[in-house]
Structure 1
Protein backbone atom coordinates (compact mmCIF):
# COMPACT_ATOMS: atom_id res chain seq x y z
CA UNK A 1 0.00 0.00 0.00
CA UNK A 2 2.84 2.41 0.88
CA UNK A 3 4.40 1.71 -2.50
CA UNK A 4 1.18 2.57 -4.31
CA UNK A 5 0.82 5.84 -2.37
CA UNK A 6 4.42 6.76 -3.15
CA UNK A 7 3.88 6.00 -6.84
CA UNK A 8 0.71 8.12 -6.95
CA UNK A 9 2.45 11.03 -5.18
CA UNK A 10 5.38 10.82 -7.60
CA UNK A 11 2.98 10.85 -10.55
CA UNK A 12 1.08 13.88 -9.25
CA UNK A 13 4.35 15.72 -8.56
CA UNK A 14 5.61 14.85 -12.05
CA UNK A 15 2.40 16.09 -13.71
CA UNK A 16 2.34 19.31 -11.67
CA UNK A 17 5.95 20.12 -12.55
CA UNK A 18 5.68 19.18 -16.24
CA UNK A 19 6.49 21.85 -18.79
CA UNK A 20 3.69 23.65 -20.58
CA UNK A 21 2.68 21.54 -23.56
CA UNK A 22 3.49 22.73 -27.06
CA UNK A 23 0.82 24.98 -28.53
CA UNK A 24 -0.86 24.00 -31.79
CA UNK A 25 0.03 25.95 -34.89
CA UNK A 26 -2.11 27.64 -37.52
CA UNK A 27 -2.13 27.22 -41.30
CA UNK A 28 -3.63 30.04 -43.36
CA UNK A 29 -6.79 28.98 -45.23
CA UNK A 30 -8.07 32.13 -46.94
CA UNK A 31 -9.14 35.74 -46.73
CA UNK A 32 -12.80 36.39 -47.43
CA UNK A 33 -14.60 39.64 -48.17
CA UNK A 34 -18.37 39.62 -48.30
CA UNK A 35 -21.03 42.21 -48.80
CA UNK A 36 -23.97 42.57 -46.46
CA UNK A 37 -27.58 43.57 -46.95
CA UNK A 38 -29.79 45.72 -44.76
CA UNK A 39 -29.97 44.46 -41.15
CA UNK A 40 -33.34 43.10 -40.07
CA UNK A 41 -33.99 43.55 -36.34
CA UNK A 42 -35.82 40.54 -34.91
CA UNK A 43 -35.94 41.83 -31.34
CA UNK A 44 -35.40 40.50 -27.85
CA UNK A 45 -35.63 36.80 -27.10
CA UNK A 46 -34.51 34.41 -24.39
CA UNK A 47 -30.85 34.49 -25.53
CA UNK A 48 -30.53 38.21 -26.30
CA UNK A 49 -31.49 40.65 -29.01
CA UNK A 50 -31.25 39.11 -32.46
CA UNK A 51 -30.54 40.91 -35.72
CA UNK A 52 -30.41 39.13 -39.09
CA UNK A 53 -27.84 40.49 -41.54
CA UNK A 54 -28.13 39.04 -45.08
CA UNK A 55 -24.92 37.93 -46.80
CA UNK A 56 -25.23 39.14 -50.40
CA UNK A 57 -22.01 38.05 -52.12
CA UNK A 58 -18.25 38.37 -52.11
CA UNK A 59 -15.03 36.49 -52.77
CA UNK A 60 -12.46 34.42 -50.93
CA UNK A 61 -8.90 33.47 -51.82
CA UNK A 62 -6.18 31.36 -50.25
CA UNK A 63 -3.43 28.87 -51.08
CA UNK A 64 -5.75 25.81 -51.30
CA UNK A 65 -9.14 27.27 -52.23
CA UNK A 66 -10.69 30.37 -53.72
CA UNK A 67 -13.98 31.42 -55.22
CA UNK A 68 -17.09 33.40 -54.48
CA UNK A 69 -19.52 33.85 -51.61
CA UNK A 70 -23.03 33.12 -52.88
CA UNK A 71 -26.12 35.14 -51.98
CA UNK A 72 -27.34 32.28 -49.77
CA UNK A 73 -26.97 33.05 -46.11
CA UNK A 74 -27.00 35.46 -43.23
CA UNK A 75 -25.64 36.28 -39.81
CA UNK A 76 -28.26 35.65 -37.12
CA UNK A 77 -26.20 37.54 -34.54
CA UNK A 78 -27.14 38.11 -30.93
CA UNK A 79 -26.41 40.93 -28.52
CA UNK A 80 -26.33 39.55 -24.97
CA UNK A 81 -27.46 41.26 -21.76
CA UNK A 82 -24.02 42.83 -21.36
CA UNK A 83 -24.04 44.31 -24.87
CA UNK A 84 -21.61 41.84 -26.47
CA UNK A 85 -22.39 40.91 -30.06
CA UNK A 86 -21.86 37.28 -31.09
CA UNK A 87 -21.91 36.25 -34.73
CA UNK A 88 -23.98 33.22 -35.75
CA UNK A 89 -23.64 32.71 -39.51
CA UNK A 90 -24.57 30.17 -42.12
CA UNK A 91 -23.66 30.77 -45.74
CA UNK A 92 -22.44 29.18 -48.94
CA UNK A 93 -19.12 29.24 -50.79
CA UNK A 94 -18.55 28.17 -54.39
CA UNK A 95 -14.95 27.48 -55.36
CA UNK A 96 -13.44 28.52 -58.68
CA UNK A 97 -13.70 24.86 -59.77
CA UNK A 98 -17.44 24.77 -58.87
CA UNK A 99 -17.33 22.86 -55.58
CA UNK A 100 -19.95 23.89 -53.02
CA UNK A 101 -19.03 24.43 -49.37
CA UNK A 102 -21.48 25.20 -46.59
CA UNK A 103 -19.91 27.20 -43.77
CA UNK A 104 -21.07 28.01 -40.28
CA UNK A 105 -19.27 30.48 -38.00
CA UNK A 106 -19.90 31.71 -34.49
CA UNK A 107 -18.06 33.79 -31.97
CA UNK A 108 -18.03 36.90 -29.81
CA UNK A 109 -16.83 40.44 -30.44
CA UNK A 110 -13.60 41.38 -28.68
CA UNK A 111 -12.56 44.62 -26.99
CA UNK A 112 -10.54 45.39 -30.17
CA UNK A 113 -13.76 45.43 -32.21
CA UNK A 114 -12.77 42.29 -34.10
CA UNK A 115 -14.87 39.11 -33.83
CA UNK A 116 -13.18 35.78 -33.09
CA UNK A 117 -14.87 32.95 -34.97
CA UNK A 118 -15.15 29.20 -34.72
CA UNK A 119 -15.49 27.96 -38.30
CA UNK A 120 -17.14 24.73 -39.43
CA UNK A 121 -17.20 23.51 -43.04
CA UNK A 122 -19.36 20.95 -44.82
CA UNK A 123 -18.85 19.71 -48.37
CA UNK A 124 -19.33 16.58 -50.46
CA UNK A 125 -16.52 17.55 -52.84
CA UNK A 126 -13.73 14.95 -52.88
CA UNK A 127 -11.16 17.68 -53.52
CA UNK A 128 -12.20 19.73 -50.48
CA UNK A 129 -13.46 16.90 -48.26
CA UNK A 130 -10.56 17.56 -45.85
CA UNK A 131 -12.42 20.74 -44.76
CA UNK A 132 -15.08 18.55 -43.10
CA UNK A 133 -12.48 17.26 -40.63
CA UNK A 134 -10.55 20.32 -39.54
CA UNK A 135 -10.80 22.73 -36.65
CA UNK A 136 -10.65 26.28 -37.96
CA UNK A 137 -10.71 29.78 -36.52
CA UNK A 138 -11.18 33.18 -38.06
CA UNK A 139 -10.86 36.85 -37.26
CA UNK A 140 -13.61 39.08 -38.62
CA UNK A 141 -13.16 42.78 -39.24
CA UNK A 142 -16.36 44.71 -39.90
CA UNK A 143 -16.60 47.48 -42.46
CA UNK A 144 -19.41 49.65 -43.81
CA UNK A 145 -21.65 47.17 -45.67
CA UNK A 146 -19.07 44.37 -45.71
CA UNK A 147 -16.94 42.12 -43.50
CA UNK A 148 -13.46 40.69 -44.01
CA UNK A 149 -12.56 37.33 -42.48
CA UNK A 150 -9.11 35.76 -42.33
CA UNK A 151 -9.34 32.02 -41.62
CA UNK A 152 -6.81 29.48 -40.33
CA UNK A 153 -6.73 25.74 -39.78
CA UNK A 154 -5.57 24.51 -36.37
CA UNK A 155 -2.53 22.19 -36.66
CA UNK A 156 -1.26 19.59 -34.23
CA UNK A 157 1.67 20.67 -32.02
CA UNK A 158 5.05 19.72 -33.41
Structure 2
Protein backbone atom coordinates (compact mmCIF):
# COMPACT_ATOMS: atom_id res chain seq x y z
CA UNK A 1 0.00 0.00 0.00
CA UNK A 2 1.40 3.39 -0.97
CA UNK A 3 0.74 6.06 1.62
CA UNK A 4 0.88 9.70 0.56
CA UNK A 5 3.65 11.93 1.84
CA UNK A 6 2.32 14.39 4.42
CA UNK A 7 1.53 17.87 3.18
CA UNK A 8 1.67 20.97 5.35
CA UNK A 9 -0.47 24.11 5.18
CA UNK A 10 0.62 27.28 6.98
CA UNK A 11 -2.06 28.26 9.53
CA UNK A 12 -0.58 31.12 11.62
CA UNK A 13 2.46 32.45 13.46
CA UNK A 14 2.67 33.10 17.18
CA UNK A 15 5.17 35.65 18.51
CA UNK A 16 5.56 34.92 22.20
CA UNK A 17 7.06 37.44 24.62
CA UNK A 18 9.06 35.84 27.42
CA UNK A 19 10.62 36.96 30.70
CA UNK A 20 14.04 35.86 31.93
CA UNK A 21 14.31 32.13 32.53
CA UNK A 22 14.43 30.80 36.08
CA UNK A 23 16.85 28.01 37.01
CA UNK A 24 14.99 25.22 38.78
CA UNK A 25 17.61 22.44 38.58
CA UNK A 26 16.99 18.75 38.67
CA UNK A 27 20.05 16.65 39.14
CA UNK A 28 23.06 15.07 37.47
CA UNK A 29 23.18 15.32 33.71
CA UNK A 30 20.24 17.68 33.20
CA UNK A 31 19.10 21.21 33.95
CA UNK A 32 15.47 22.26 34.39
CA UNK A 33 14.49 25.87 33.59
CA UNK A 34 11.18 27.75 33.59
CA UNK A 35 10.53 30.64 31.20
CA UNK A 36 7.43 32.77 31.94
CA UNK A 37 5.28 33.85 29.00
CA UNK A 38 4.41 37.57 29.07
CA UNK A 39 2.10 37.91 26.05
CA UNK A 40 2.40 38.18 22.31
CA UNK A 41 0.58 38.13 19.01
CA UNK A 42 -1.08 35.62 16.70
CA UNK A 43 -1.28 36.36 12.98
CA UNK A 44 -1.95 34.37 9.87
CA UNK A 45 -4.48 33.26 7.32
CA UNK A 46 -6.41 30.97 9.69
CA UNK A 47 -6.10 32.63 13.10
CA UNK A 48 -5.38 36.08 14.52
CA UNK A 49 -5.36 37.30 18.11
CA UNK A 50 -3.05 37.58 21.09
CA UNK A 51 -1.02 35.41 23.44
CA UNK A 52 -2.33 35.94 26.96
CA UNK A 53 0.20 36.63 29.73
CA UNK A 54 0.76 33.67 32.03
CA UNK A 55 1.77 30.13 31.36
CA UNK A 56 5.30 29.25 30.53
CA UNK A 57 7.85 26.86 29.13
CA UNK A 58 9.53 24.18 31.23
CA UNK A 59 12.73 23.16 29.45
CA UNK A 60 15.03 20.30 30.34
CA UNK A 61 18.52 20.25 28.87
CA UNK A 62 20.39 16.97 28.62
CA UNK A 63 23.73 17.22 26.86
CA UNK A 64 23.25 19.31 23.73
CA UNK A 65 19.47 18.84 23.39
CA UNK A 66 16.75 20.78 25.19
CA UNK A 67 13.30 19.26 25.57
CA UNK A 68 10.54 21.88 25.66
CA UNK A 69 7.15 21.69 27.37
CA UNK A 70 5.18 24.94 27.06
CA UNK A 71 1.59 25.67 28.04
CA UNK A 72 -0.22 28.94 27.51
CA UNK A 73 -3.43 30.54 26.21
CA UNK A 74 -4.33 32.31 22.99
CA UNK A 75 -7.27 34.70 22.64
CA UNK A 76 -8.60 34.77 19.07
CA UNK A 77 -9.68 38.08 17.55
CA UNK A 78 -13.32 36.97 18.05
CA UNK A 79 -12.73 36.55 21.81
CA UNK A 80 -12.49 32.74 21.93
CA UNK A 81 -9.84 31.29 24.26
CA UNK A 82 -7.61 28.49 23.01
CA UNK A 83 -5.36 26.35 25.22
CA UNK A 84 -2.06 25.22 23.71
CA UNK A 85 0.30 22.56 25.00
CA UNK A 86 3.40 22.78 22.84
CA UNK A 87 6.18 20.23 23.22
CA UNK A 88 9.34 19.99 21.18
CA UNK A 89 13.11 19.99 20.96
CA UNK A 90 15.90 22.53 20.49
CA UNK A 91 19.46 21.66 19.55
CA UNK A 92 22.29 23.47 17.82
CA UNK A 93 26.00 23.13 17.28
CA UNK A 94 28.21 25.07 19.74
CA UNK A 95 28.88 27.98 17.35
CA UNK A 96 25.14 28.56 16.77
CA UNK A 97 24.51 28.28 20.53
CA UNK A 98 27.12 30.98 21.21
CA UNK A 99 25.50 33.27 18.61
CA UNK A 100 22.03 32.70 20.12
CA UNK A 101 23.39 33.35 23.64
CA UNK A 102 24.93 36.62 22.32
CA UNK A 103 21.47 37.74 21.23
CA UNK A 104 21.87 37.21 17.49
CA UNK A 105 18.73 36.29 15.53
CA UNK A 106 19.39 32.99 13.76
CA UNK A 107 17.21 31.59 10.97
CA UNK A 108 15.07 28.47 11.43
CA UNK A 109 17.25 26.43 9.08
CA UNK A 110 20.46 26.84 11.11
CA UNK A 111 19.34 24.82 14.12
CA UNK A 112 16.66 22.35 15.14
CA UNK A 113 13.78 24.05 16.96
CA UNK A 114 10.62 22.08 16.24
CA UNK A 115 7.40 21.63 18.19
CA UNK A 116 4.31 19.47 18.27
CA UNK A 117 1.35 21.50 19.59
CA UNK A 118 -2.03 20.29 20.80
CA UNK A 119 -4.85 22.84 20.91
CA UNK A 120 -8.07 22.74 22.95
CA UNK A 121 -11.15 24.95 22.79
CA UNK A 122 -14.92 24.62 22.88
CA UNK A 123 -15.36 27.53 20.43
CA UNK A 124 -17.06 25.94 17.43
CA UNK A 125 -15.38 28.28 14.92
CA UNK A 126 -11.95 27.09 16.13
CA UNK A 127 -12.65 23.36 16.55
CA UNK A 128 -10.41 22.71 13.54
CA UNK A 129 -7.46 23.42 15.86
CA UNK A 130 -8.49 20.66 18.26
CA UNK A 131 -9.22 18.18 15.48
CA UNK A 132 -6.00 18.30 13.43
CA UNK A 133 -2.31 17.55 13.85
CA UNK A 134 0.12 20.47 13.68
CA UNK A 135 3.88 20.99 13.61
CA UNK A 136 5.68 24.16 14.61
CA UNK A 137 8.89 25.64 13.26
CA UNK A 138 10.35 27.97 15.88
CA UNK A 139 13.05 30.59 16.05
CA UNK A 140 14.19 33.31 18.40
CA UNK A 141 13.74 36.82 17.03
CA UNK A 142 14.07 40.22 18.72
CA UNK A 143 13.68 38.75 22.22
CA UNK A 144 10.61 36.71 21.31
CA UNK A 145 9.96 33.09 20.46
CA UNK A 146 8.33 32.96 17.03
CA UNK A 147 6.57 29.77 15.99
CA UNK A 148 5.03 29.15 12.58
CA UNK A 149 2.30 26.52 12.90
CA UNK A 150 1.46 24.21 10.00
CA UNK A 151 -1.52 21.89 9.79
CA UNK A 152 -0.66 18.38 8.60
CA UNK A 153 -3.05 17.60 5.73
Q: Given the two structures, how large is their TM-score scaled by the length of structure 1?
A: 0.80
Structure 2: how far apart are the matches of 1:42 and 1:63?
Answer: 38
How is 1:11-50 mapped onto 2 (pairs within 5 angstroms)?
Answer: 21-45=3-27, 48-50=30-32
> Would the aligned equivalents of 1:47 and 1:78 in 2 still touch at CA under 8 Å?
no
Q: Which residue of 2 aligns with 1:92?
A: 73
| Counterpart pick for 2:60 among 78, 95, 107 | 78
Matched, 1:118 2:99: no
Matched, 1:62 2:60: no
Structure 2: how far apart are the matches of 1:137 and 1:45?
Answer: 31
Q: Which residue of 1 aligns with 2:96?
A: none
Structure 2: how far apart are the matches of 1:119 and 1:47?
Answer: 27
Q: Given the two structures, how large is their TM-score scaled by the length of structure 2?
A: 0.82
Structure 1: how far apart are the matches of 2:138 and 2:29?
Answer: 22
| Counterpart pick for 1:132 among 125, 130, 133 | 130
CA drift at 1:144? 4.9
Q: Considering only aligned residues, what root-mean-square deviation do their CA atoms show, in Å?
A: 1.7
Instruction: Give the secondary-structure state (helix, strand or coil) at the position aligned to 1:130.
Output: helix
Structure 1: how far apart are the matches of 2:130 and 2:84?
Answer: 10
